[in-house]
């Protein structure tokens, strides 16, 4: 009989372990066997393997016993005593069968469980756990105590009950339910309808200005064009991207857009309501879900107006979060516009020099050195005068390139030029 044979029932495996332990005892006696160290290592290895296999067989025996009890009861149409404990453990007739996590029963399936065991447990669960899960679904619909987390999942009581998937556009995501198959079809449909309504209500409320812009009803082509551009760019546009549109907008036309929440700034045209923390969180989450990438990107900590970070590479994502980039500096776009108001109010027609005041630093929340560097990146000339810091707008001059026309060798005027008429 081979001691290292790993098949067999509990009794035969126990006998083999006993035999191996005898060999181990012999191996540890000095001068009883040749190559003592080899046999010590060999018997230890065999004992470990056989012990693991015995554990598997004992577990399987327990599962078989549990499944057989439930299966016998099911055949006799017995009513089971079901307990759902405070920690969500589930017992049927004092047999632990699994744990309820949210709207899903996770069966206690040990290694080596047979398909018949699984079917018996599921059948027993359907009779007893189904009503509890349906009660939970109704509680979700009645209370609405669910939340959308950064992992794209919708949670109830700290357990996921649905997960966002890609839809037609990023403001119209789809989702899949995370529920047990013991829940009846009509109950699943009720939950599906509720979550669908909940998601779209959340998007319509938090991102109302963006939704209103999408649904704008205007015949004016300039208004419609700018509204479309803003919607396609998630509510933030660089002003130089739409300079031609802006030239064609009259004041009354701008008012229509302002009433929809559009702000016309010096650097940007944007929906100022979307810079709020709740709107940024939802918008970036939906954007990442739609494109199914950039999952590691996160909005800057809310409350920060200025960032100095060389590691940030994705400027489009930062603009989506409401931050404009100036090399390794990032400034929140609504704060940037408030800074320009301060600058304009600090300047005079007689003198274009502007004095740096503490209010400017406090607005951005940055150091004086970083503020001076930021001004230079924004095309301001910074200088000191009478122990005070001043700055003056000094746009970069764009020189028109003069191109020299090359005269072709076949040009008749070149031929005339080369003629010697003296």
Q: What span, in angstroms and rounded, lies between the C-alpha atoms of 70 and 93?
A: 9
pLDDT at 113 > cutoff 50:
no
Q: Which residue has the higher pLDDT, 62 or 314?
A: 314
Question: Which whole number is the average pLDDT over 395-416?
Answer: 51
pLDDT at 366 > cutoff 90:
yes
Give the containing element (helix H, strand E) for 272. none
Q: Where are the domains of the chain?
A: 1-128, 134-206
Task: Choose the weakest-confidence range: 40-54, 60-74, 134-148.
Answer: 60-74
Task: Choose the weakest-confidence range: 16-30, 211-225, 263-277, 309-323.
Answer: 16-30
Q: Say what the pLDDT of residue 110 is.
A: 57
Does residue 100 contact residue 88 with C-beta atoms inside 8 Å? yes
Identify the CA nearest to 288 among candidates 147, 161, 148.
Answer: 148
- Going by C-beta distance under 8 Å and a sequence separation of 6 or more, which residues neighbour residue 280? 274, 299, 302, 321, 322
Does residue 357 contact residue 350 with C-beta atoms inside 8 Å? no
Q: What share of the chain is helix, strand, coil (3-state, %, to 5)?
A: 50, 15, 35
- Going by C-beta distance under 8 Å and a sequence separation of 6 or more, which residues neighbour residue 94? 81
Q: Say what the pLDDT of residue 187 is.
A: 95
> pLDDT-derived band of residue 4, with 50, 70 and 90 as boundaries?
very low
Taking each helix axis from N to C terminus, what angle separates 277-291 and 185-206, rounded to the nearest 10 degrees? 130
Q: Say what the pLDDT of residue 218 is.
A: 79
Q: Say what the pLDDT of residue 242 is.
A: 87
Q: Say what the pLDDT of residue 18 is.
A: 58
Q: Say what the pLDDT of residue 3 is.
A: 44
* Best mean pLDDT range from 48-52, 166-170, 203-207, 216-220: 203-207
Identify the CA nearest to 254 among candidates 323, 265, 237, 333.
Answer: 265
Task: Choose the weakest-confidence range: 16-20, 111-115, 165-169, 284-288.
Answer: 111-115
- Going by C-beta distance under 8 Å and a sequence separation of 6 or more, which residues neighbour residue 242? 226, 229, 269
pLDDT at 169 > cutoff 50:
yes
Q: Say what the pLDDT of residue 196 is.
A: 96
Question: Which whole number is the average pLDDT over 356-380?
Answer: 93
Question: How many C-beta atoms surround the C-beta of residue 150 within 10 A?
Answer: 11
Percent of the chain past pLDDT 70, that is, above it, reads 69
* Size (the chain), residues: 422
Give the containing element (helix H, strand E) for 309. none
Helices (H), 76-180: 115-128, 130-143
Identify the CA nearest to 380 among candidates 342, 409, 353.
Answer: 353
């Amino acid at each position: 009989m081979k001691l290292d044979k790993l098949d067999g029932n509990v009794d035969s495996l126990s006998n083999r372990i006993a035999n191996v332990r005898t060999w181990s005892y012999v191996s540890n006696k000095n001068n009883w066997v040749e190559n003592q160290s080899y046999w010590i290592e060999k018997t230890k290895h065999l004992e470990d393997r056989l012990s693991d296999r015995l554990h598997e067989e004992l577990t399987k025996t327990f599962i078989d016993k549990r499944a057989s009890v439930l299966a016998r009861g099911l055949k006799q149409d017995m009513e089971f005593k079901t307990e759902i404990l405070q920690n969500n453990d589930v017992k049927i007739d004092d047999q632990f069968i699994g744990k309820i996590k949210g709207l899903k029963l996770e069966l206690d399936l040990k290694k080596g469980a047979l398909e018949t065991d699984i079917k018996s447990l599921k059948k027993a669960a359907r009779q007893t756990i189904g009503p509890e899960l349906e009660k939970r679904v109704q509680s979700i619909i009645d209370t609405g105590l669910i939340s959308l987390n950064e992992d794209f999942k919708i949670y109830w009581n700290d357990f996921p009950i649905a997960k966002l998937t890609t839809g037609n556009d990023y403001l119209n995501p789809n989702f899949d339910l995370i529920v047990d198959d013991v829940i009846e079809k009509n109950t699943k449909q009720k939950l599906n309808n509720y979550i669908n309504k909940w998601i779209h209500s959340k998007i319509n409320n938090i991102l109302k200005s963006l939704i209103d812009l999408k649904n704008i009803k205007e015949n004016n082509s300039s208004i419609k064009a700018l509204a479309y551009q803003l919607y396609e760019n998630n509510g933030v546009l660089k002003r130089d991207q739409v300079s031609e549109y802006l030239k064609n907008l009259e004041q009354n036309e701008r008012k229509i857009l302002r009433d929809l929440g559009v702000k016309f700034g010096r650097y940007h045209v944007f929906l100022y309501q979307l810079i709020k923390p709740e709107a940024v969180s939802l918008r970036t989450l939906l954007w990442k879900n739609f494109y199914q990438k950039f999952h590691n990107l996160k909005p800057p900590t809310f409350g920060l107006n200025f960032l100095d970070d060389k590691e940030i590479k994705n400027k489009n994502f930062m603009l989506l979060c409401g931050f404009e980039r100036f090399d390794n500096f990032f400034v929140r776009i609504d704060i940037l516009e408030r800074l320009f108001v301060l600058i304009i109010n600090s300047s005079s027609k007689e003198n274009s020099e502007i004095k740096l005041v503490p209010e400017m630093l406090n607005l951005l929340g940055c150091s004086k050195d970083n503020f001076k560097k930021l001004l230079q990146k924004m095309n301001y000339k910074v200088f000191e005068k009478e122990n005070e810091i001043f700055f003056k707008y000094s746009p970069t001059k764009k020189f028109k390139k003069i191109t020299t026309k090359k005269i072709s060798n076949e040009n008749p005027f070149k031929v005339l030029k080369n003629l010697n008429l003296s």
